[in-house]
A and B are shown apart, each in its own frame.
Chain A
Amino acid sequence: MKGLASGLLFLSSLIGFTSPWAVRRAKVDTEQPIEMEQSVEVIQEITIGDEPFPVEMVVTQEQELQGLVETKLPSHILSELELYADFQILEKGHRLNFEYEETVLSRITVQQNDYERLRVELLPEPTVMLDTFPLDAKSVVMTFDKKDLFAPDADLLDILDAEPGLIAVIDNQVDIVKKLSDQDTIEVLAVGRYRGDDLEYLESVLSLRINHDDTSSLTFKYQTGDGDVWYGEDLKARTYPFLMSPTDYILISSKYGVKRGHKRHKGIDFAADIGTPIYAAASGVVADAGWGTGYGLRTKIDHDHLGDFTTLYAHMSRSYVKTGDVVRQGQLIGLIGNTGRSTGPHLHFELHKGHRQIDPRGRTVRDTFKVSDIDALALESYRDNVDKIFVQATQAVVDVESLLAKRHSAL
């Protein structure tokens, strides 16, 4: 018991911020092992009532956090501290700071790296918090081709996660189903969040470079009053959210609005061979998959994130999705067929806004996604900046904080 008491006293003296009584007692006790004293080094201290109290200390040898603070904290806070597993063992170089309000210890912070800091607030009610600081924003460049777009690997899925409308942005530049060739490539410049040199996660996509038919064009995202908007190298907005061609068609056999007897055609017919893949025009939720009168085997997809839009794909020979499925833009949902009231294999494609069909390539839908005009000079200078950073990032990982800052200041 006596040994335990003197051990506690020693620990108190080692940190030197417990009650003055403990400090005084420890000072006269000179028979303590020396190696323990080396486990922390007090960098800075203040004097309160003639006694020194530490302000900052650095750990010089691996040891437990609990041992350093247990005399100073109430038991329920000590047990709360145990929940923070990463902070239980302190290693060489870790820092502890102590703050005082007049003569009372008010705050202890423990810093292991630049990204997290454990903080114990002691006044008025003790509580433990973990402060988190942003990870470093650095560049990530990845390259994909047409095949990847339709069968994304984990990397591309990560990117699509960060930028769900990315495929539409590419499609705005080059029709990915009909015109993009197997030799074309797409380079993506993204912001990655790094812990030191390690990439933790992809945050967002900044820009794309589409290499198509020996030409290379830049597309970039810019923050405007309407939110983030994608612009092409020509400084025109790329906001149409649906695929231009939901299937690799041979010809458009009937446009929207063509007269058929006393009715007008309320969709677009894409003629193609039976078995040609059909892709979801935008991401969404399958609202209805099954047989419909006249439509044959058909699938309806709700695109709620775009507004009250629904797409319908009819006369399919095969359907690969069921009601309630969440689909990605460009996901294979079925195959071209000749089911229902159809005179030859084709995809009848409809776009609905609310309960009304509208022309998928018409003015109504384009107007919905129109953005307001913005300062062209600022946009141009931002584009040039992105272009420069894209070139650098292709060579090596670069800091993109400046680019992000510029994007925000442009608002």
Chain B
Amino acid sequence: MMSWFLFLFGTTTTSADTWQCPGHEPSVSFQRIESLESREMDRYRGYKPAWMALEGNYRSTIYNWKEEAVREAYLEDRNNYLDPYMYHERIRKLLASHGSELEVWQIASTHFGNPVYAILIGDSKQSNKPSIAHTFTIHGNELIGVNYGLDAIEYLLQADDVRQGLLEDFNLWFVPMVNPDGVWLSMRRAHASTYGKKNGRNTDGTCEPYAYEGVDISENFPSRYPSEEPVELESETIALMELFDRSNTISLLSVHTGGNGWYTPDLTRDETGVLTNLVDGFATSMTEVLGDAEVKRLRPNSNLGEVRWFFENYHFPSFIYEYPKDIAPMDHLEREQARTQTLSVMQSYWKTLQAKAFVRGMVVDQKGEAIADATLHLPQTLRKEFTWMVSETGDFALMLPSQEIIDLKVRAEGFVDAQKKVDVREGSATIRIVLQQLEN
């Protein structure tokens, strides 16, 4: 009797702070994956079977997913949309075939129990090396984003010279499917474009198996205004923030679809002009490949929170690239074009990055011990400046707008303020900053 009661009404949670329905608990934990097993597909997990939303070949594939030939055939076509299980299968294959060139990290687990993978081309042990982060499919309904991310990884694995060139300066992180729950729901919903961008959180506490209102991860980043209500962060969001932090990220490219534009963060508060030069420099260098894409600054309160938050916290460039205008579904020819275009934009972005000036270094005291709470500033005028933090091990990496001699100001509590002239006319420099303790 009791079980019937539960079946009819579900288990309800009334408290607003326990949105999570019984079952899987989302979590954030970084662990490197050495090898992956195939996942067994649970094709009924958390969705309302709106069959009309499913593509014919996808529908037949999931029904015959256990057959290897079916799996192979579906994954072989790079224009096919991928759900989290299929994506997992692609990652598994990449790891098996290119395990020496890439690292796969699980950075979070979602409400539906889907893993969020971050793929590193580079070496995670080189922790002081700056990273370039790429995120895709933050909005679950932008299905083609997963393909963009995997395309970029596969391209770099093939193009040895491009990869080696980039690896000299950076580690490259990719999160091809930030929002697996959203993708899963989107592939099953008749109105994917309306609801599907959000993740799998049940926000009304009813825990009905198909009524996942979800949270838009892109809008889930911490608020910039102290006067606003604090945002309850999702595991996907926390994992991204943690990834940027750990990997010493100095540029973020977030790829969306549903528009045709290259969007840069709001720069009205950059009175120094340093970051404006840096950020605008990208669009200028990439004019050719961006074609008729709209180049635009995001509004200060833009809901594309990942680039806003990243930019405001780290003061490094972050960009949105959106292409094409259709979200989903597109026909295969359109998908092919979109993939080609997006890959060429990414290639151009990497080239532009390599042409920038970089400073890497360490801040230590006179005994040679790292100063973890030091801040770096690029003074343009006497008062207006941006601040960068050094890492816990005293390391830092900065991207600069132009190749010239710059004055880098360094501050740390208990030490005399110092300045250092850094010569980046050659493109990059490695420096050692030694601060002197304040004498009382």
Contact = CB atoms under 8 A, between A and B. Distances in A.
Contact of B434 (A127, A161, A203, A368): A127
Size class of B's contact patch? Answer: 20 to 34
A201 interface: yes
Interface string A111-134: 000000001010011011111111
A121 B434 contact: yes
Contacts of A193: 382
B385 interface: no
A308 B228 contact: yes
B264 to A, nearest CB: 13
Given A287-B299, A326-B268, A128 B420 contact: yes
A124 B421 contact: no
B300 A129 contact: no
B418 A131 contact: yes
Contacts of B300: 285, 302, 304
Given A302-B301, A307-B228, A131 B368 contact: no
Contact of A127 (B224, B226, B432, B436): B432
Contacts of B299: 287, 302
Contacts, number: 73
Contacts of B227: 306-308, 368
B420 A130 contact: yes
Interface in A152-208: 161-162, 193, 200-201, 203
A128 B423 CA distance: 12
Contact of A121 (B269, B366, B382, B423): B366
Contacts of A132: 409, 416-419
Nearest to A99: B366
Among A128, A131, A134, A306, the one with the most B-chain Cβ atoms within 10 Å of its Cβ is A131
Q: Per DSSP, are chain B's interface residues mostly helix, strand or loop, or mixed? A: loop
Contacts of B434: 119, 121, 127, 129
Contact of B224 (A203, A285, A304): A304
A129 B418 contact: yes
Nearest to B225: A307
B365 to A, nearest CB: 11
Nearest to B420: A129
Nearest to B226: A307
Contact of B383 (A125, A127, A131, A162): A162
A380 B432 CA distance: 48
Contacts of B419: 129-130, 132
A107 B435 CA distance: 12
Contacts of B418: 119, 129-132
A161 B417 contact: no
A391 interface: no
Nearest to B411: A132
A201 B228 contact: no
A80 interface: yes
A125 B432 CA distance: 8
A149 to B, nearest CB: 21
B405 interface: yes
A128 B434 CA distance: 9
A193 to B, nearest CB: 8
Interface centre among B228, B405, B409, B434 (most CB of A within 10 A): B434
Contacts of B423: 80, 83
A158 B43 CA distance: 64
A161 B382 CA distance: 11
A127 to B, nearest CB: 5
A84 B301 contact: no
Interface string B299-323: 1110000000000000000000000
B440 to A, nearest CB: 14
A302 to B, nearest CB: 6
Given A84-B421, A121-B434, A200 B382 contact: yes
B431 interface: yes
B433 interface: yes
A286 to B, nearest CB: 10
A119 B300 CA distance: 42
Interface in B330-382: 366, 368, 382
Contacts of A162: 383
A134 B417 CA distance: 8
Interface string B226-248: 11100000000000000000000
Contacts of A302: 299-301
Contacts of B421: 80, 83-84, 128, 130
B432 A131 contact: no
Contacts of B268: 285, 326
A201 B379 CA distance: 14
Contact of B431 (A119, A127, A131, A201): A127
B370 to A, nearest CB: 14
B364 to A, nearest CB: 10
Contacts of B301: 302, 304, 308
B140 to A, nearest CB: 25
Contacts of A287: 299
Contacts of A127: 420, 431-434
A84 B405 CA distance: 11
A128 B419 CA distance: 9
B383 A161 contact: yes
Given A119-B436, A302-B300, A308-B228, A131 B417 contact: yes
Contacts of A285: 268, 300
A206 to B, nearest CB: 16
Contacts of A84: 421
Nearest to B407: A130
Contacts of B228: 307-308
Nearest to A369: B227
A377 to B, nearest CB: 28
Nearest to A121: B434
Contacts of A304: 224-225, 300-301
Contacts of A119: 418, 434, 436
A124 B383 contact: no
B382 A201 contact: yes
B316 to A, nearest CB: 20
B411 to A, nearest CB: 10
A326 B266 CA distance: 12
Contacts of A307: 225-228
Contact of A308 (B225, B269, B383): B225
Interface string A287-314: 1000000000000001011111000000
A292 B228 CA distance: 28
21 contacts: A80-B421, A83-B405, A124-B368, A127-B431, A127-B434, A129-B418, A129-B419, A129-B433, A129-B436, A130-B419, A131-B418, A133-B417, A201-B382, A201-B383, A285-B300, A302-B299, A304-B224, A307-B225, A307-B226, A307-B228, A308-B301
Given A121-B434, A124-B368, A302-B300, 20 more contacts: A80-B423, A125-B432, A127-B420, A127-B432, A127-B434, A128-B421, A129-B418, A129-B433, A129-B435, A130-B418, A130-B419, A132-B416, A133-B416, A161-B383, A285-B268, A302-B299, A304-B225, A304-B300, A306-B227, A307-B225
Interface of A: 80, 83-84, 107, 119, 121, 124-125, 127-134, 161-162, 193, 200-201, 203, 285, 287, 302, 304-308, 326, 368
Pairs A-B, 7 closest by C-beta atoms: A307-B227, A83-B421, A201-B382, A130-B419, A307-B225, A304-B300, A121-B434
